[in-house]
Structure 1
């Protein structure tokens, strides 16, 4: 594949990569020394220049950085989730110390996401079995949502600031609606069993199987009731949250090891990309725009392409919001951040 930019995070293994929502020339990478087992973390703010990828700023943390999210209200700020349970807010324009530290989680903070609608809060999820909602201006959390098992992934609905989702080790995708009274199950409105049998039992698609840890999920940017999940069983599934017990809308098998991260395209309603411990990044079509038969049934999605230039676990992948649509950043334990055009997977030269 031509047109690929590369940056090396020397001595640090990436866990997350995110494009800036403000600039197509800025990305951030959250990393850990020694694969996150022991040692510190480093946040890289990178600038894409005519001379290639340049370091704009680095920040060191005293524990691994497992995830990061750009602020939606300040283009120079981003929050990171750390192995010691803390979240740290950094400002690229300031010196090496965090602007704020948030530390209530009792175990590793594994995921963080900024509210894209109201923009005035962010969430974190942790191995301690909770999701917490934070304001960037106060050190104590606003709300704690109990999950009960290790929570690898948390997100906001892209169109509704009150809807929060969480994926966890007990094989469930949970939805919380902050508009409901907290006395009723702490705002919990749905718990989708990710590994339940599909809506067309006996069909040609293998979908069921024993529950497995769900490691990642993402909301579709165009169909705001659709969520994709991925995890240890290697299968990508999509669900409609309006019908939590109907089973998956679509299934995308193909990865050979766990799916570590996935994200829907900001440019197309039926395209997503996934990163896996099988060292590949794969591009998918979820078949949602195919003609539907008279009976709703689980559809087989299609793998549109595979990028296999990483030589270790791929732990992060993100789309650039800007431009013609197709530029992707991927990062893996091979100490490499790769920037490339996903269109080349679909239309090989």
Structure 2
């Protein structure tokens, strides 16, 4: 069976198969490759495991000799997530434990360009819309609300209420303008339309807190959730009565899930069991590979858009790692 984009070669500069960068005194929560610059990625990290202390945005460059620090920015509370701007290659947004979002310009070694502080508890998720004609940010908070932000406006433009628990993940649809998903401690996945914020689609996706969700890049109706019950589940929005796939293998909570940008049926997950797992839900035996190279909770995970098969992750063990899992190294 062939799937869109499954036969792509690495492009651009020659990179090492694996590299690591240490974050002394900082514990990684999220990592994301730049959508514009092939060698750049960023990590949102926190002091004292995010329970207390400050946070640091670490911007990294990878080259044929490894990973190097490009720039770092400190914030006075832990940083839990980040997202690159989709219209400016130098701009990043982070979110933190003090209820605020920060917009940074990575070529300016100063404080944030803007700070938005409306959430009343920790902000655990932030995402920048990828659909054409939109430049919107969505955030999800422990205050049980999601908020919509326009970077040209100094305040939120819409608040989404309905979850009955902490919101852990908010992710824009890459297909449908104004549509995003949220995953919550109330055990539901919700699909929101910015034009009708009071009428979400509510999916009782797990019988446990849901920590992460993501949209398939090739199917506008397909999402995946990862939860405290150690499972991943796939959801088709045309029939939400039961999952279209369920994936088991993790031994602790699934912290983050990501669909491949190059293969329609491949996705990755990372977990509090210290592992990253690579899956192909179209196969009878869907677990392709288990990566065990961290010694603490693995919280951040992303796949490069520029180098197919390349993955970055970060963990509470104070490291960011970039590598090319054997199951994703596909010849043309």
Return the TM-score normalized by structure 1. Answer: 0.87
Residues 119, 23 of structure 1: alpha-carbon distance in 2 compared, 3 angstrom cutoff: farther
Task: Calculate the aligned-residue CA RMSD, in Å.
Answer: 1.4
* SS at structure 1 position matched to 2:156: coil
Give matches, 1:110-189, under 5 Å. Answer: 110-117=124-131, 118-146=133-161, 147-180=163-196, 182=197, 186-188=198-200
Are 1:97 and 2:81 matched, yes or no?
A: no
Aligned to 2:312: 329
Aligned to 1:305: 289
Deviations 1:21-61 (A, max 9, x none): 00220000000000001000000000112332111110000
Q: Give the Cα separation in 1 of the matches to 2:122 and 2:233.
A: 26
Residues 45, 257 of structure 1: alpha-carbon distance in 2 compared, 3 angstrom cutoff: same
* SS at structure 1 position matched to 2:49: helix
What is the CA distance between 1:342 and its match in structure 2?
A: 2.2
Q: 1:107 aligns with which of 86, 100, 121?
A: 121
Unaligned runs of 5+ in 2: 1-15
Aligned to 2:83: 69
Are 1:9 and 2:23 matched, yes or no?
A: yes
CA contact (8 A) 1:30 1:41 kept: yes
What is the CA distance between 1:139 and its match in structure 2?
A: 2.0
Q: Give the Cα separation in 1 of the matches to 2:168 and 2:318.
A: 22
What is the CA distance between 1:343 and its match in structure 2?
A: 3.2
What is the CA distance between 1:344 and its match in structure 2?
A: 4.8
* SS at structure 2 position matched to 1:60: strand
Give matches, 1:1-349, under 5 Å. Answer: 3-117=17-131, 118-146=133-161, 147-180=163-196, 182=197, 186-188=198-200, 190-195=201-206, 211-245=207-241, 247-287=242-282, 302-323=286-307, 325-344=308-327
Q: Give the Cα separation in 1 of the matches to 2:328 and 2:76.
A: 38
Q: Give the Cα separation in 2 of the matches to 1:168 and 1:338.
A: 28
CA contact (8 A) 1:330 1:337 kept: yes
* SS at structure 2 position matched to 1:142: strand
What is the CA distance between 1:69 and its match in structure 2?
A: 0.3
* SS at structure 1 position matched to 2:289: strand
Residues 258, 37 of structure 1: alpha-carbon distance in 2 compared, 3 angstrom cutoff: same
CA contact (8 A) 1:259 1:277 kept: yes
Q: Give the Cα separation in 1 of the matches to 2:285 and 2:246.
A: 6
Q: Give the Cα separation in 2 of the matches to 1:46 and 1:301.
A: 36
Deviations 1:219-253 (A, max 9, x none): 000011100000100001000012122x1000100
Unaligned runs of 5+ in 1: 196-210, 291-299
What is the CA distance between 1:346 and its match in structure 2?
A: 7.2
Q: Give the Cα separation in 1 of the matches to 2:312 and 2:260.
A: 12
* SS at structure 2 position matched to 1:106: coil
Q: Give the Cα separation in 2 of the matches to 1:157 and 1:242.
A: 15
Aligned to 1:202: none
Q: Give the Cα separation in 2 of the matches to 1:72 and 1:119.
A: 9
